[in-house]
Amino acid sequence: MTLKQNNELVSPLSVQQANQLQQVVSELNTTQLSWVSGYLFGLSQANSPVAGGATIPAPAAPSGQLTILFGSQTGNTKAAANQALEAAKAKGINARLVSMADYKPKDLKKETHLLVLSCTQGEGDPPDDAIEFHEFLGGKKAPKLNGVKYSVLALGDSSYEFFCQTGKDFDERLAKLGAESVSPRVDCDVEYEANATAWVEAAVNAMATELAAATAPVANAVASAVSTATSQYNKKNPFTATLETNQKITGRDSSKDIRHFEISLEESGLSYKPGDSLGVWFRNDEAIVADFIAKVGLKGDEKVTIDDTEVSLTEALTKHYELTLSHPGFVSKYAELTSNDTLAKLADDRAALREYIDGRQLIDIVREYPSSLTAEQVITCLRRLTPRLYSIASSQAEVEEEVHLTVGVVEYDAFGEKHFGGASGFLAERLEEGGEVDVFVEESHFRLPEDPLAPVIMIGPGTGVAPFRAFMQEIDANDADNQTWLFFGNPNFTEDFLYQVEWQDYLKRGVLNHIDLAFSRDQAEKIYVQDRMLEKAETLWQWLENGAYFYVCGDASRMAKDVHDALVTIVEQQGNKSREDAEAYVTELRKNKRYQRDVY
């Protein structure tokens, strides 16, 4: 039985038991946790041990259960889904939380109540962990869903043309299959939290009228025990870390400025696994903040209210609002408040507006069209600052209380001024070694195989090599026997071979078994990682047939698509398959977690 103390649940487990439980559950996925929860609850009801060696069937989903499905790329959707789960539990709803990557689409016909949450990636595409479910729901095998109650939360970025498209697709397809929406879909922009919270309240309240199930006691016990063993730091409560190393790792004549950062996590209690990301809360350039304030006719000491706290306009624009990434909403609102006809016409022409903001930061717009606004009006034009996520380039098995990043510095000249990216400029140019930076760990689906013998193929051009450095450190530290193969590319061998000495050492010691390099500018004809894949098609196919896991990290808009096409072509040609069968083979790899992507 779980007792209450000061309105908080107190675990009946000893510290040792809680730590053991935490170790076990940290290795389970959502589906496995759900099974174990039901299994343990069954044991508690029977009050007797299971006969040794007995096979326990997975418990069927209870009737009257609310299933919360989420597809997440950066962690925001997962956070909203967890919020929905907690809200459902608080109302006594029997709810389960499942990533779309772990969900069997054929189980959809068994559902009665669904909350569906998904972000949209790139040009209207679903996140990687939602691809299969998205395709299933729009395909011929999708079942009739008459009588199913549902609601959809869509996350996106209005800077992109196909805003919240994946969520809109889910809503439309569920309705076409006969399901009934019990709470309207909500489309969230970058500042998603307020709208997501409102949706959670409305959707869970709507589901509560349909359901009357209590939360399983064991779920509370597990949640209580786990919470005692996790770090207190997260996205909303980041850890103030120390930057120890800022090292440029491209050559003097490189077209890229890529930095290796080492950040101390000492005394944070933060832990991460290879494949996870580090969230960085950055500060805007003080010079840009001052210039922006001057261009709108203000001094900076004006007061504004943020989250019920009064701060100066200067502090608000330095720490709390986005000044780097332009978006259509700023142009529209700024045009309205300044009565600027030129900007108003741009705002009405979507294609012209997107062309206009491409390459422009917000400071460029106010420099071009200065005006006089109140501090409150300035705030209404802006989006809240959001942290940037970077793939972690280290393993704690190697670096312990440190975390390493591989970051390409966004730097370019435009409109007579030098421009830097918000976070990369902060880390590379304004944060000195020994300086403080607020960070948190964002868990990922991007994971090494559990089997220490499974072959690993890594496609990581440019800064996409970051998580594979973490993979190799982990494999090396654990003396794992995975066969490993890296495909790396960048413009020039002499200037851009990131971590060259480390790869050569891994190769020499047999930790890395193969490396194929694609330096696109070192010869007349450009060569990319997908070209090297096709050159090694026969061997790559043999690795896949021998159970290899295939990983891709880097640019989503071009590289990841080209690599995917090359992979399908290799399967088609080497496996003597039709294009359709080759696509099905690759889809099966993805379903079995043997094809994973960390793209941005």
Residues 337 and 376 in one domain: yes
Residues 77 and 38 in one domain: yes
Calculate helix-pair angle for 76-90, 193-208, nearest 10 degrees: 40
Please give the structure tokens belonging to residue 14: 């000893």
Residues 371 and 462 in one domain: no
Strands (E), 415-500: 417-420, 436-442, 456-459, 484-490
State the Cα angle at 476 between 490 and 388, rounded to 5°.
50
Q: How far apart are CA 16 and CA 153, in angstroms?
A: 39
Residues 40 and 109 in one domain: yes
Q: Tell me if 451 is assigned to some domain.
A: no
pLDDT for 58: 34
Number of domains in the chain: 4
Give residues with Cβ within 8 angstroms of 172, minimum separation 6. Answer: none
Please give the structure tokens belonging to residue 93: 């709803």
Are 194 and 162 in contact, with CB atoms under 8 Å apart? no
Q: How far apart are CA 417 and CA 412, in angstroms?
A: 8
pLDDT for 246: 98
Domain boundary among 381, 396, 416: 381
Q: Tell me if 234 is assigned to some domain.
A: no
Residues 328 and 435 in one domain: no
Q: What is the DSSP letter of 463?
A: G
Per-residue pLDDT of the chain (600 residues; tens, 9 = 90+): 343 444 444 445 554 555 556 656 555 544 445 445 555 544 444 443 333 333 333 333 445 789 999 998 878 899 999 999 999 999 889 999 999 988 888 788 889 999 999 999 877 889 888 888 998 898 888 889 998 999 999 999 887 888 899 999 999 999 999 999 999 999 999 888 889 999 999 999 999 988 764 333 333 433 333 333 467 899 999 999 999 999 999 999 999 999 999 999 999 999 999 999 999 999 999 999 999 999 999 999 999 999 999 999 999 999 999 999 999 999 999 999 999 999 999 999 988 998 999 889 999 999 999 999 999 999 999 999 999 999 999 999 999 999 999 999 999 999 989 999 999 999 999 999 999 999 999 999 899 999 999 999 999 999 999 999 999 999 999 999 999 999 999 999 999 999 999 999 999 999 999 999 999 999 999 999 999 999 999 999 999 999 999 999 999 889 999 999 999 999 999 999 999 999 999 999 999 999 999 998
Residues 512 and 532 in one domain: yes
Q: Tell me if 174 is assigned to some domain.
A: yes
Residues 251 and 211 in one domain: no
Domain boundary among 356, 381, 406: 381
Residue 353: CATH number of its domain: 1.20.990.10
Domain encompassing residue 15: 3-227
Q: Tell me if 536 is assigned to some domain.
A: yes
Residues 21 and 83 in one domain: yes
Q: Tell me if 449 is assigned to some domain.
A: no
Give residues with Cβ within 8 angstroms of 35, minimum separation 6. Answer: 58, 59
Q: What is the DSSP string of 73-129?
A: SSSHHHHHHHHHHHHHHHTT--EEEEETTT--GGGGGG-SEEEEEEE-BTTTBPPGG
Q: Tell me if 69 is assigned to some domain.
A: yes
Residues 521 and 544 in one domain: yes
Residues 155 and 18 in one domain: yes
Residue 555: CATH number of its domain: 3.40.50.80
Residue 115: CATH number of its domain: 3.40.50.360
Q: How far apart are CA 158 and CA 179, in angstroms?
A: 28
Residues 211 and 318 in one domain: no
Residue 412, CA distances (Å) to 183, 318, 420, 531 in order? 45, 21, 7, 29
Q: How far apart are CA 47 and CA 315, in angstroms?
A: 59
Residues 130 and 213 in one domain: yes
pLDDT for 600: 87
Q: Tell me if 68 is assigned to some domain.
A: yes
Give residues with Cβ within 8 angstroms of 343, minimum separation 6. Answer: 331, 334, 335, 365, 369
pTM above 0.85, yes or no: no
End-to-end CA distance of the chain: 46
Q: Tell me if 424 is assigned to some domain.
A: yes
Domain boundary among 227, 249, 267: 227
Please give the structure tokens belonging to residue 572: 């088609």
pLDDT for 36: 57
